[in-house]
Amino acid sequence: MILISGRGSNLQAIADACHVRELPAQVVGVIANRASASGLEWAASRGIPTRVVSHQGHADRASFDAALAQEIDALAPDYVLLAGFMRILTDGFVNHYAGRLINIHPSLLPLFPGLATHQQALDAGVQVHGCTVHVVTPELDHGPIIAQGIVPVQAGDTPDSLSARVLQVEHQVYPAVAQWLAEGRVQIHGDQVSVTGVSR
């Protein structure tokens, strides 16, 4: 199950990997919090069930999260992958999916949590940047790290050029993690993660 808010390029990379690499996994559904999320159309074209749970019709985060959880649980996924899902989730929601809720963040956490990560990286003057796939915990962008992908920062980089380079790596790293999860190779022990048969 994958949750999106926009174009869904990570969703596409993961769904394609399930198909092309014949992973023992499938994307059982895609949920967006915006009807305009273009990733929905792509998912539907591939026969993947889609749902919209709009955050706008809910009085507070808790009622939105409850509606979201209801749609997710109806499809009984093993894992819930956040891929460009731009909503902060309540502790109750996160705890309901403890160990099964995964996110991709466009920076090398713990550096640059939050928004505008590419601008943050340029402002900090770092020479390397990248992405992190991590287990979601109640503290935003702080869960145990499963995998990271690194890109060099180049002279003259703008947030857009850096973002494009990081996105290419995201499309390698997230499908790889999906494969490890599908193969049952990811163990989460408190705030540590180990992956059997992979040196990270």
Give the residue numbers of the binding site: 8-10, 61, 86-89, 103
**Rounded-to-integer distance, Cα 19 and Cα 191, Å:** 31
171 is catalytic: no
Q: How far is the CB of 196 from ligand GRF (least distance, A)?
A: 25
Interaction between residue 104 and ligand GRF (CB under 6 A): yes
Asked if 106 is part of the footprint of ligand GRF (rule: CB under 6 A), the reply reads yes
# residues near ligand GRF by CB under 6 A: 14
Q: Are strands 192-195 and 186-189 parallel, antiparallel or unpaired?
A: antiparallel
Per DSSP, the three-state class of 94 is helix
d(CA 61, CA 89) in angstroms, rounded, equals: 7
Q: How far is the CB of 87 from ligand GRF (least distance, A)?
A: 11
H-helix or E-strand spanning residue 163? helix 159-182
Selected from 84, 130, 149, 175, the binder of ligand GRF by CB under 6 A is 84
Per CB under 6 A, 169 contacts ligand GRF: no
Q: Does 9 bind ligand GRF (CB under 6 A)?
A: yes
Burial class (CB in 10 A: 0-12, 13-18, 19+), 37: buried
Our finding on whether 170 is near ligand GRF (CB under 6 A) is: yes
Whole-Å CA distances, 63 to 14, 58, 68, 89:
29, 6, 9, 11
Residue in the shown chain whose Cβ atom is closest to ligand GRF: 84
Q: Is residue 176 a contact residue for ligand GRF (CB under 6 A)?
A: no
Active site residues: 105
